[in-house]
Structures are given as C-alpha cells and as structure tokens.
C-alpha cells in the first residue's frame, strides 16, 4: 500500500484541533500530527448523523432496497460516513416492511459496502409519543408504550435507539427495559414536566431528540423537558441547526449550558440534498420552499439540512470549530456506544472529512478512498 498524506494543517483528535497533517495507508489511518501542510485545512473523522428519515429524494419508510443503497451512497458526498436510519410513526405493516428492507439492504454485522456510508442500526422515533406534541407524526398511528410490540420490532430489525414520551402510561417501564438491554432511549415528542423527565433519565434515558422542538416549553417555574435535560450532566442534547428549528441565541445558550453534551443531527427528509419542491415523509406530503420543510398544516417537518451544512451554520454563529466538529463525530459515536467510528487515530478505518478553514466541506474519504462530493 502507498501512504497518502491529506495535506491538512490540523486534525480533530479527542475533541481538540491538533496541529499537523494526517497520513492514510490503504483503508486505515497511519498517522496524525505529522508536519502540517499549509493552507489551513482541517481533517476530522467522517461525520455521523444519528437522525436520518430520508435523503437525496429517498424516503426511508417507502424505500426499496435499491433506493436504500442509493441513499447510503449519497450521504458521503455531503461528508456523512455513518448514519442511523430513522423511522417515524406509521402503520404497523409499514414499519414492519421498512425494517425488513433495511435488514436486507444492510445486514447487521456486515462490512460497509464500498462507496456507502456505514449503517448503524435503526432508530424508531415513535409511535409512543404525546398526542399533544406529534409534529408531523400521523396521529392515527400514535399509541401508548407497548413492550411486547417493541420486542417484536427488535426481533425484526436492528433497533438500537428509540424516541418516546416519558409521561405516557408504562413509559418508564419501557425506558428501563430498553436501557438495561443496551438500547439508546431518547426523550422527544413529549409534553413532559421536568419531574417526568427526571424520572425517565433516572430510569436510563440518556438523550433528547431535537431539543426544544415538539416538546414541552422551558419556563422559569416549570422548565419542562428542555430544562431538565440541560440541567443534567449525564444527558446529551440533540439539535437541528438549519436556521429554522432554533434561533442562534438559543443555540449559543445550549452550548454554554452543555458544552460537552451536544450532538448535531439533521432530522433529514427526502428533501435533503435536493432542490425545493414536493416530497414525502412516511406518506405525509411535504412542501420545501426556500429550504424550509413543512407539512400541509404548515408545521416544520424534519429538514432539508445536510450535516456539513449544520457544521457551517454553527461556526457562523460563533460556536468553536473543535466543539462543532466533535458534536458531529466523536459525540454521536459515544452516544451509540461505538468506538469504531467518529475517531481519527492511527489504526482506525480511514473514514475522514476534510474542511477548508471556513469549515466548508472539501473532501470525504471512505475506507481510504476519495468520494466525489455533491455539487454545491
């Protein structure tokens, strides 16, 4: 194998930007901290997106196997080298079919397919959600927690994460059972009080889905789910930084309150990586105008965001670049308990992103091979 140097000035290593170039040898990272190249470019681990409902014209709930592979091939063109497919609330038969197709396209434990982002399992966002905080989730398919039903889905697919509302009947039992079994429990689409939220975090929930969106409000006498999450050093908060879900001031406040506990996600729909137009999310019609994704009621319905776009958005509002890159690489990998992704170190698989000094995506490498980027 021939060693190749990336020509960068710094690299993200263990949450810090360390001066020096990076060398890869075949599929693996050979060295970091080599004499730096000029130009100010930054190497980071491949981006990790843990909330993807669709991408590049493909809706996960309706996608066939070929479309799923097309989606996995499109993600690296925008810097993402590992992703967590997310299925929203739907009819049982639709969820069953989607799990079957995901399992066929990406068998658990299989090697990453050349040219495709690595699939990390399945995230079920629902159906155990608050009827008051559904957002775009179809109300006719919402229901209260059912451990037997979820066990059936876990046998059917590689479910590694579940979003639920902790205030619902039997929710705490489900939180504890899933957490004890190693499944990541995230609180979201919830009308929980802070008390409800703390009970769920004590039972094993470890994160919050798209903070502030589709959840109880944070007030000075009743801080709700957002306040409870931000107050706890053991809870990771996920944010969608597309310029529409959260104001810049709120993003700055969150990062000040939880500097080492932020994960950026896209909540991407089929509209992500595509122009404005009409798309679908699990059978719900979506309108995308000026990059804003809305359902027929005018409610925000996921996003058209790319994770590399979220990186630029965060840096533009003043968040430290090392903190931003950590929130899309190391931190989501840690949240999922994965030590094989999200790290840039000798011996690791060479899934790498390279950014210009303004944090614009410059290159993606998958297993040591360069990927052609999408046209801006």
Catalytic residue numbers, as ranges: 267
Contact of 79 with 366, CB cutoff 8 Å: no
The tokens for 219 are: 């007030």
């Amino acid at each position: 194998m021939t060693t190749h140097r990336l020509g960068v000035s710094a690299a993200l290593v263990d949450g810090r930007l360390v001066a020096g170039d990076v060398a890869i040898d075949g599929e693996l990272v050979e060295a970091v901290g080599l004499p730096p190249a000029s130009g100010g470019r930054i190497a980071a681990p491949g981006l990790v997106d843990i909330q993807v409902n669709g991408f590049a014209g493909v809706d996960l709930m309706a996608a066939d196997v070929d479309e799923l592979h097309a989606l996995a091939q499109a993600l690296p063109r925008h810097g993402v080298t590992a992703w967590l497919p997310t299925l929203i609330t739907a009819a049982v038969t639709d969820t069953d079919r989607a799990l079957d197709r995901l399992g066929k396209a990406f068998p658990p434990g299989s090697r990453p397919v050349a040219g495709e982002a690595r699939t990390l399992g399945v995230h079920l966002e629902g159906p155990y959600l608050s009827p008051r905080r559904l957002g775009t989730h179809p109300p006719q398919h919402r229901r209260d927690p059912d451990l037997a039903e979820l066990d059936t889905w876990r046998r059917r697919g590689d479910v590694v994460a579940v979003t639920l509302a902790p205030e619902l009947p039997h929710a705490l039992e489900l939180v504890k059972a899933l957490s004890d079994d190693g499944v990541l429990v995230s609180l979201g689409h919830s009308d929980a009080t802070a008390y409800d939220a703390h009970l769920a975090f004590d039972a094993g929930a470890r994160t919050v889905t798209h903070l502030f969106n589709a959840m109880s409000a944070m007030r000075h006498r009743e801080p709700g789910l957002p306040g409870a999450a931000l107050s706890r050093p053991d809870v990771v908060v996920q944010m969608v930084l597309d310029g529409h879900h959260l104001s810049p001031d709120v993003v700055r406040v969150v990062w000040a309150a939880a500097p080492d506990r932020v994960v950026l996600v896209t909540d991407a729909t089929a509209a992500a990586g595509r122009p404005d137009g009409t798309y679908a999310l699990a059978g719900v019609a979506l309108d995308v105008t000026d990059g804003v994704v809305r359902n027929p009621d005018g409610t925000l319905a996921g996003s058209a965001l790319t994770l590399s776009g979220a990186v630029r958005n965060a840096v533009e509002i003043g968040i430290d670049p090392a903190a931003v890159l950590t929130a899309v690489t190391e931190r989501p990998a840690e949240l999922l308990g994965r030590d094989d992704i999200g790290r840039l170190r000798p011996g690791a698989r060479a899934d790498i992103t390279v950014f210009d000094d303004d944090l614009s995506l410059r290159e993606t490498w998958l297993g040591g091979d360069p990927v052609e980027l999408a046209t801006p």
